[in-house]
A and B are shown apart, each in its own frame.
Chain A
Amino acid sequence: MLRIDCPWCGVRNEDEFSYGGDATVERPADHASQDDWYHYVYTRQNPAGPHREYWHHVNGCRAWLVVERDTVTHEIFSTAPASPNLPDPDGRAR
């Protein structure tokens, strides 16, 4: 059982969240090359070790998070909002 520290809700069980995959891939520009799009859509580093990944607190506050987690030990190093447009965890607009 992963225990993810949601910046808004506190530490919650894994089954409140949905996994969103590798958070290091960046969407290329619309006119980027086919090769860039190929890598964005299909290829992943898939490391054994620290991994930055998206989680959606879908059965909680419904915010998207970026979690840094080890794919071998499952230790979670950090949790942060995925978007700068979300309100601060303490409630103030940013």
Chain B
Amino acid sequence: MFAGSFAGNGWLSPVILYVVSTNNKLMHYSGFSLLKQALTGNRGWTRAWRNLEPRKRYDVVIIGGGGHGLATAYYLAKLHGITDVAVVEKGYIGGGNTGRNTTIVRSNYMLNPNAQFYEHSMKLWEGLSQDLNYNVMFSQRGVLNLIHNDAQRDAFARRGNALRLNGIDAVMHDLDGVRKLMPHLDFSKNTRFPVQGGLAQPRGGTARHDAVAWGYARAADRLGVEIFQKCEVTGIKRKGDQVISVETTRGPIEAGQVGVAVAGNSSRLFDMVGMKLPIESHVLQAFVTEGIKPLVNTVCTFGAGHFYISQSDKGGLVFGGDIDGWNTYAQRGNLPTFNHVVAGGVTMMPCLARLRVLRQWGGVMDMSMDGTPIIGKTPIDNLYLNGGWCYGGFKATPASGWVFAHTIANDKPHALNAEFTLERFREGNIIDEKGVGASPKSH
């Protein structure tokens, strides 16, 4: 990865980029290692994590090698001393939702359980590259939510005040403030939804999403966690209220405890133990334009529709909007939603109409019935669920792994995920940030 960025600058021949040493020696990444490799033809980079065959049994098996599953394994090993851990992934690391989002990180949630949880995540993000010894390119360029009418201003002022009472940063901007942050918006008075201001979280921003999966995988591997790719779970074997093993495409694996972090496919996994979840699977698309010079230097969201945009370090504008809105497990998006998303974007920022979209992709979301994740125990003693992430999964990655590891290690949730239970729906304790009720497509 580092080698790639150097070659991209014309420093070195691309021919040598993919030479990977078979030496499994653990390697510390630093400015010094980068310089040393640059001067020696980049021939000394070792594998980021080991390639092993599954053993017969592990204390903990984590199903799902996305950011959440890998972070869980990492914190189990690092903070709880549980290193006999296998992570099984049906595809490849970085190929699922961790690599399919729009990379936005923020913690501007109003309801208390969400606010505390996502702010904990933000704090972990702030030290993540150092903690993992892996550059996740976390960039606190800010998140700006636009305001278009008086009622919205009142609602955002309330949200901003709630954030500040919880110790989370929030800044209300008037029109001039917004102009300084996003000079290319449509500020005309004749537009259908004139911009009036905005609520910003300056500590929000973006991170390089696949680096998060790779960084956690590498860091977990160094602590003894074993990662298995192309290892799909096909069945879960139970004895009474206990899971005894998982059947995989690479053979059965016995487990003391099993954590499921497969958001998008949680319903399919829990169907294997005969449980229905308060979740529907929907596809969310993301888009990237051709690379251009710096244009958008914060994350900006349209308040009169659903559209969010940022600019990657390579120059492409990364944007998204609504989910397609009907049950699907296909990891691809459809044209009507693309048209809808782009219409919102061009309304907000007319100059976007001049750009070409270079890439588009879709990821399958667990849309939960209240828009909030489910992290905790299940009716099966040693089976734990981490899912229902809706749109919120990427930014939550560090805290999600952190609390899920705590939940598995102690067989009870941490205070930060104590309210994200599966039982909250039955008990009526739903956490509905958007206030739209039990309609997954609307969250």
Q: Which residues of A contact B (CB under 8 A)?
A: 1-2, 13-15, 19, 21-22, 34-35, 38-39, 41-48, 51, 53, 71-74
Contact = CB atoms under 8 A, between A and B. Distances in A.
B281 interface: yes
Interface in B220-275: 265, 267-268, 271
B267 A46 contact: yes
Contact of B334 (A2, A22, A41, A53): A2
Contacts of A71: 281, 327-330
A53 B325 CA distance: 12
Contacts of B328: 71-72, 74
B426 A38 contact: yes
Given A42-B369, A44-B267, A34 B426 contact: yes
B15 interface: no
B171 interface: no
B276 A45 contact: yes
Given A43-B276, A43-B278, A44-B279, A19 B325 contact: yes
B233 to A, nearest CB: 14
Interface in B301-342: 325-330, 334-336
B426 A19 contact: no
Given A42-B426, A71-B329, 9 more contacts: A1-B335, A21-B441, A22-B327, A43-B276, A44-B276, A44-B280, A45-B267, A46-B268, A71-B327
Q: Bin the interface of chain B by size.
A: 20 to 34
Contacts of B327: 21-22, 46, 51, 53, 71
Contacts of B426: 34-35, 38, 42
Contacts of A44: 267, 276-280
B34 interface: no
B277 A43 contact: yes
Contacts of A42: 278, 369, 425-426, 438
A43 B379 CA distance: 15
Contacts of A1: 334-336
A35 B117 CA distance: 29
Contacts, number: 73
From A14, A34, A42, residue with most partner B Cβ within 10 Å: A42
Query: Which 6 pairs across A and B sit closest by C-beta, in order of nearness?
Result: A46-B267, A42-B278, A43-B276, A19-B326, A48-B329, A42-B425
A46 B330 contact: no
B336 A13 contact: yes
Given A41-B438, A46-B327, A15 B336 contact: yes
9 contacts: A14-B336, A19-B326, A21-B441, A22-B327, A42-B438, A43-B276, A45-B271, A48-B281, A72-B330
A89 to B, nearest CB: 23
B325 A46 contact: no
Nearest to B278: A42
Contacts of A74: 328, 330
Contacts of A22: 280, 327
A25 to B, nearest CB: 10
Contacts of B441: 19, 21
A46 B388 CA distance: 13
Contacts of B330: 71-74
B276 A48 contact: no
A11 to B, nearest CB: 15
A53 B334 CA distance: 18
A38 B334 contact: no
Contacts of A39: 276
From B278, B329, B369, B441, residue with most partner A Cβ within 10 Å: B329
Contacts of A51: 327
Nearest to B336: A15
A74 B331 CA distance: 12
B281 A38 contact: no
